[in-house]
Amino acid sequence: MSDTVAVVLLLALTAYAVLGGADFGAGFWDLIAGGPERGARPRELIEHSIGPVWEANHVWLIFIFVVSWTAFPEAYASIMLTLFVPLTLAALGIVLRGASFAFRKSVVTLRSRRGFGAAFAASSVLVPYCMGAVAGGIASGRVPAGGQAGDPVDSWLNPTSLVTGLLALTAVAYLAAVYLVWEARGDDDAELTEYFRRRAVVSAVVVAVVGVVGLVVLHGDAPYVFDGITGRALPVVVLGFLCGTGALVLLARDATRGARALAVLAVAGLVVAWGVAQWPYLLPETLTVSSAAAPSGTLQALFVTIGLALVIVLPGFLLLFALAQKRLLPGEGVPDVADRTMHGSAD
Amino acid sequence: MSTAVQVVGLIADVDPVPWARSQMAFTLAFHIILVPLGVSWAFLTLIANYRALRHDDADALLLAQRWSKYMAVTFAVGAVTGTVLSFEFGLLWPRFMGRWGEAFGVPFAFEGIFFFTEAIFVAIYLYGWRRMRPWAHFWTGVPIVLAGIFGTMSVVAANAWMNAPSGFTLDSSGDVVSVDPVEVIFNDAMPLETAHMLVAAYLVGGFLIASVYATGMLRGRTDHYHRLAFTIAFTVAAIATPIQMGVGDALARWVYDEQPVKFAAIELVPQTSSDVPETLLGHLNSDGSVTGGIPIPGLASWLSDPGTGTSTVVQGLDSVPASERPTEQEANVVHLAWDVMVGLGTLLFLLSLWYGLSWAVRRRAPGNRVFLVLAACSGVLAVVTMESGWVVTEVGRQPWIVYEYMKVENAATANTGVWITFIAVVLLYLALGVTAIQVLRGMSRRFRRAGGFHEVDGPYAPSEPPRGEPDEETVR
C-alpha cells in the first residue's frame, strides 16, 4: 500500500517538474535575454505565456509536501531538518518570484521594471537549483533516517547536489524553451520561434552533457542510485534519452509538432528514473518506503484522497489543459471595457 | 577575527523556538487575511452573475467579471503564502510533523484535493466568460464555492485536532502506531471550530469587499454599479454576523468544557471559583491578582452555564502546574484578544442590525454618512476581529502544540538560523502585501477610468475566433 503512495508521490513530482518547472525555466530565459531593448520581445512572450497559470502550479508542490508528511512523516522530518537551508531558499524564492512578477506588470518606469524583472528572473533560477540540490542530498544518502538532522552544509553542498541542481535548472530551462517555441509559433511570430528554437536545441545538448557528467559524479558519490540508474532504471533512462533525442531532431528540423510532447517525456523520464533508481529506499540505504510508511489507517485515507483526485481533480484539469492547448484561454479573461479604453488611449 | 567568531557564536546561540513561533504567527496572520477572500468572493461573484443572467442586469455582469479578476489575484497571492506555509510546517516544526504527521496530515491531504479543485475552476471560470454558454459558465463557478467550503473545513479540522487530538493510538515510546482517519478529521473540536471559521470567512470577506464600495460611495460614486456591489457584499456579511455570534457562543462553551485552562485565560480567572466576574480589559499580575478593567459580577460564571447561573464553577489557571498553562503574559494576550474579538464582533452585529432594519422598514440600505463611514471601516474591523479570534485559540493553547500530548518547545526545529529566515520572510511578505494591494488598486483605477458604460459585444456574445483579437493582446 505504501508503494502505491510512493508512486503517486513520484508522479506528482514529475507533474510539478514538467508543469511548474517550465514556469521557472521561462524565468531563466528572462534573466539572460539581454538588455531592456534586445530582451523586450522575448520577455513579452514569456510574461504572456506565464500569465494565465501564474502561481497556480504550486498546488503540485503543496500536494507533494502534504502527501510526504502524512505518509512518510519521519523521513519528511529528516529531510526538512537536514536540508533546511536550500528548502528555505526555495520557499523565499517562490515568494520573491510571485511578488516581483506581479509587481513588474504593475509598475511603469523602466528602472523599477528592470529591478523587479531581475528579482523575478533570479528567483526563478534559484528555486529549481535548490530543489535539484535537495534531490541530490537525498539521492546521495546524506539525509539520515529517524527524524534527525544530517550535516546542514554537506547535505546540499556536495558533488551530487551540485550536479542535480544544475540538471534541474537546465532541464526546466530546456522545457520552457520548447514551450516558448510553441507559444511563439501560435502567435505566428517567426523571429521569436527561431529565437527560442535555437535556445531549445542548445539547452537540450547542455542537459545531455550535464546528465553524462552527473552519471560520473553519481558513480563516485551516490553508488546506490548509480547502480539503480544503470540497472533497474535503465529502460526508463533509455526511453527518456530516445524521447530527448527525438525532440532534438524535430527541433533541429523545425518540425511544427511532436517536439513538445517528446521533450516533456524526456524530462519526466529524468524524474521517474531517479525514483526507480533509489527504489525501494525513500532515503537511500537507510530507510525503505515500506518501513517509513505511516499506519494503514492514514494510508487508507490517502487512498480516498487519491480516488477523489481522480474523480474530481483530473477531469477539471484535463478540461483546463484542453482549453489551454486549443489556445482558448485569453490572457486575462474577458477583456474589460476598461482595457478597451486603455487600448484606445494608448494608441 | 575574534569578532567574527563572536558573531558566529551569537548566531549559533539564538534560541529558535521564539523565532519559529513568530515566523509561523506572522505568515499565518498574513495568509488568514487572504482566506476569507478566497472562500467567499466566488460566492459573491456568483450572486452578481446570477442576477446578471436572471434579470439581464448589465451592471451585475460587469461586476461579476471584474470580481472574478480580483479574485484571481487574491487567489494567486494566497497560493504563494499557502505554499510557504506548507514549507514551514516542516522547516519550523519538523519534530511535530515527524511524530504526528500521520494523524495531523490526514485533513491536509483532503485540503490539498479541494485546493486543487479550486485552482482549476478559478481558472476555468475566469477564462470562460467569452467561450462558454452563460449558464454553463455560471455552473463552473459553483465548484469554487464548494471547494472553498470543504477546503476551509479540512484545514480547520487539522487545527481543531491540535486542540482536541484523537483518532490514534500510541505505543509505549509515544509513537503513533495506528490511525483512525475519520476520528482524526471529525475530532471533538472540529464541528464548532470549522463552523466558526467558515462563517468568519463569509463575514470578513463580505465586510472587506463592502467596505471598498462604501468608501467609493462616500466619494460620490453612488451609481447602480457601486450600490449593487455594496449590497451584495454587505448583505452576505450582515447575514453571517448574527450566525457567527451564535456559533461563537457555542464554541466558547465547548472550550469551557474541554479546554478549561484556555477558558481561564480567556476570562482571566487565576483561581478556580464560582461567581466569577466577567472582566472587561484588565490585567493579570505575576502574583495571580487581576487589576484594572471593569468586572461585571458573576457574569463569566453565568455565561459559562446559565443553568446553574452565578454558582457555576470556573476552573482557574492554577488548576494545572505552571508548566502546563499559558504564562501570565500569554494569558493577558488571550484575554485582550478575546475582548477585542467580542467587542468588535458586537459592533459589527449592531451595524448589521441597522442595515437589516433599514431594509425591513424602508426597503433600502441606510444612506446616511455615518452608516457609510462605519461600513467603510467594517472591513478592517472584521479582519482585526478574526485575527483576534485566531490569537485566542492559538495563544490560549500554549504551551501545547498538540493539546496535552506535545509542547511547542519540543516540536520546533533545532536550527539556530530561524531568526534570519524570520527577518527575510517579514521583508518579503511586506513586498508581497504591497504588490497585491498595488495590483488590485491598479485594476480598480483602470476599471474606474473606463466609467460605467458597457462593451458593445458582451462577454456572452458569440465567440470570435481566438486569433486576431488585438484588444486583448495590446493590454499587456
What is the pairing mode between strands B278-280 and B176-179? unpaired
DSSP code string of A64-107: HHHHHHHHSHHHHHHHHHHTHHHHHHHHHHHHHHHHHHHHHHH-
pLDDT tens-digit profile of A254-285? 887 888 889 999 999 999 999 999 988 888 88
Smallest Cα distance from A243 to chain B, Å? 29
Q: Can you give the pLDDT at residue B349?
A: 95
Quickly count: other Cβ atoms within 10 Å of residue B6's Cβ.
Answer: 10
Smallest Cα distance from A32 to chain B, Å? 21
Q: How far is CA A306 from the centre of its chain?
A: 22
8 Å CB contact between A339 and B455: no
8 Å CB contact between A277 and A225: yes
The C-alpha cell at B257 is 468544557
Q: Can you give the pLDDT at residue B451?
A: 58
Whether B476 contacts chain A with CB within 8 A: yes
Contact B455 A340 (CB under 8 A): yes
Whether B88 contacts chain A with CB within 8 A: yes
Burial, B10: exposed, middle or buried (Cβ in 10 Å; 0-12, 13-18, 19+)? exposed
Contact A298 B106 (CB under 8 A): yes
The C-alpha cell at A237 is 533512462
Structure letter (DSSP) for residue A232: T
Contacts A102 to B, Cβ<8 Å: 73, 76-77, 435-436, 439
Whether B317 contacts chain A with CB within 8 A: no
Query: What stretch of H or E contains A279?
Result: none
Contacts A329 to B, Cβ<8 Å: 123, 127
Q: Can you give the pLDDT at residue A292?
A: 83
Q: Can you give the pLDDT at residue B459?
A: 45
d(CA B207, CA B382): 7
Terminal C-alpha separation, chain B: 53
Handedness of CA A247, A249, A255, A258 (dihedral sign): negative
Nearest to B137 by CA among B145, B126, B148: B126
Give me the residues of chain A with pLDDT under 50, please. Answer: 52, 331-334, 337-347
8 Å CB contact between B412 and B14: no
Phi, psi of A288 (to 5 degrees): -85, 160
d(CA B381, CA B387): 10
d(CA A280, CA B209): 52
d(CA B149, CA A131): 32
Residue by residue, pLDDT tens for chain B (476 residues) are 456 556 555 566 778 888 888 889 999 999 999 999 989 999 999 999 999 999 988 889 889 988 988 888 888 888 888 888 888 888 888 888 888 888 888 999 999 889 888 888 888 888 788 777 889 889 989 999 999 999 999 999 999 999 999 988 888 887 888 889 899 999 999 999 999 999 999 999 999 999 999 998 888 888 888 899 999 999 999 999 999 999 999 999 899 888 889 988 888 888 888 888 888 888 887 777 878 878 888 888 888 888 887 888 888 888 888 888 888 889 999 999 999 999 999 999 999 999 999 888 888 888 788 999 999 999 999 999 999 999 999 998 988 988 888 888 888 887 788 888 888 888 888 888 887 887 788 778 877 776 543 433 344 543 343 333 333 333 33
The CA-atom distances, in angstroms, between A10 and each of A15, A34, A263, B416 are 9, 36, 18, 32
ipTM: 0.83
The C-alpha cell at B137 is 459558465
| AA identity, residue A28 | F
d(CA A171, CA A183): 18
The CA-atom distances, in angstroms, between A320 and each of A140, A293, B137, B215 are 38, 34, 13, 37
Give the list of residues 6+ apart from residue B208 with CB closer than 8 angstroms, or none.
B36, B37, B379, B382, B383
